């Protein structure tokens, strides 16, 4: 089974702090590092490490960050011919992580903003060759809409991770097989904080399946026939960066391997939980073996 990730590639600038700063506050960080990230690239690496064949379709700048990030994906075994180099600087993210592992992230999209419909068409063969298409919202929404429509026309399974939170045009929902908001993203899209009602609203808009990630409370699944709550794995979380990304990748990998919804959700919960026990994004994502051992142990 093959997975194409259409999405963002960023360099992350991460600061470890004791407590996230208040508005208007200046604080000192305990440590700082730069590392590969971007929701799209993280999802591609995670899916690859979990055993899938993965294509990345994205954009980086013609700068040292762009080269480093493309090389990193290649080294991970992700197929990178779908990454274009553009004149706009590579996207980046400013991340602060506190002692509980909670974070704040501000993304400058940069080159990710140059992802357009033409580039999707140039990568048509890749999309045709994939079973699952995963997207997020760090590239232009109109490109996401075009990709959803194209994927549907080609009869592909579409997973949309609606992050960062956005109000989406109605036309996008009908082509989505799985939408995976967290509670905040669900509230922004549906105007309610009630997750069951919010999921129902998305189903009525035409989405086939809704998965709400609930952080340390696990996750919630709803479609027209079924409703499932999956309990969380209890771990000592030190950095939640990319946990949502690995969760999305795990859903795609598990479903493409023929797992049931319940098994896929359980697996994705384990992958997400394990991700929070390590600092950083793409570089510390778990491998298939780590996840299997973790699930046996728990
Ligand atoms: O989901 C985590 C990612 O969000 C980070 O790697 C950062 O680049 C932003 O895209």
Count of domains for the chain: 1
Our answer on whether the CB atom of 136 is closer than 6 Å to any ligand 1 atom is: no
In this predicted model, what pLDDT tens digit does every residue of 254-274 receive, in sequence order?
999 999 999 999 999 999 999
Residue 298, pLDDT score: 81
Section 207-232 average pLDDT: 96
* Model confidence, pTM: 0.97
Any idea what the CATH number is for the domain that residue 34 is in?
A: 3.40.1190.20
Residue 164: cis peptide before it, omega within 30 degrees of 0: yes
Query: Measuring from atom 8 of ligand 1, which residue has the nearest CA?
Result: 38
Give residue 17's domain range.
2-297
Mean of all residue pLDDT scores within the chain = 96
Catalytic residues: 245
Residue 211, pLDDT score: 98
Grade residue 281 by pLDDT with cuts at 50, 70 and 90. Answer: confident
Query: Measuring from atom 2 of ligand 1, which residue has the nearest CA?
Result: 242
Grade residue 289 by pLDDT with cuts at 50, 70 and 90. Answer: very high
CA of 12 to the centre of ligand 1 (A): 7
In this predicted model, what pLDDT tens digit does every residue of 173-190 receive, in sequence order?
999 999 999 999 999 999
Minimum-distance ligand 1 atom for the alpha carbon of 241: 2
């Amino acid at each position: 089974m093959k997975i194409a990730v259409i999405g963002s590639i960023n360099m992350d600038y991460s600061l470890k702090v004791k407590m996230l700063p208040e508005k208007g506050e200046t604080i000192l960080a305990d440590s700082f590092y730069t590392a590969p990230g971007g929701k799209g690239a993280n999802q591609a690496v995670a899916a690859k490490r979990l055993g899938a064949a993965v294509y990345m379709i994205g954009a980086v700048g013609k700068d040292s960050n762009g080269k480093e990030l493309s090389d990193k994906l290649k080294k991970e075994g992700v197929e990178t011919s779908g990454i274009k180099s553009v004149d706009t600087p590579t996207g980046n993210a400013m991340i602060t992580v506190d002692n509980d592992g909670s974070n704040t992230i501000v993304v400058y999209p940069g080159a990710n903003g140059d992802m357009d419909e033409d580039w999707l068409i140039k990568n048509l063969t890749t999309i045709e060759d994939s079973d699952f298409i995963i997207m997020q919202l760090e590239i232009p929404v109109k490109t996401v809409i075009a990709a959803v429509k194209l994927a549907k026309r080609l009869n592909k399974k579409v997973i949309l991770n609606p992050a960062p939170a956005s109000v989406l045009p109605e036309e996008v929902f009908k082509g989505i097989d799985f939408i995976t908001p967290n509670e905040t993203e669900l509230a922004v899209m549906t105007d309610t904080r009630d997750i069951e009602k919010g999921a129902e609203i998305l189903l009525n808009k035409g989405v086939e399946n809704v998965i709400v990630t609930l952080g340390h409370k696990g996750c919630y699944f709803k479609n027209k026939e079924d409703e499932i709550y999956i309990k969380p794995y209890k771990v000592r979380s030190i950095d939640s960066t990319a946990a949502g990304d690995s969760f999305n990748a795990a859903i795609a990998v598990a479903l493409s391997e023929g797992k049931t919804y319940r098994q896929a959700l359980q697996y994705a919960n384990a992958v997400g939980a394990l991700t929070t026990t390590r600092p950083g994004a793409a570089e510390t994502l778990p491998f298939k073996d780590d996840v299997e051992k973790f699930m046996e142990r728990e």
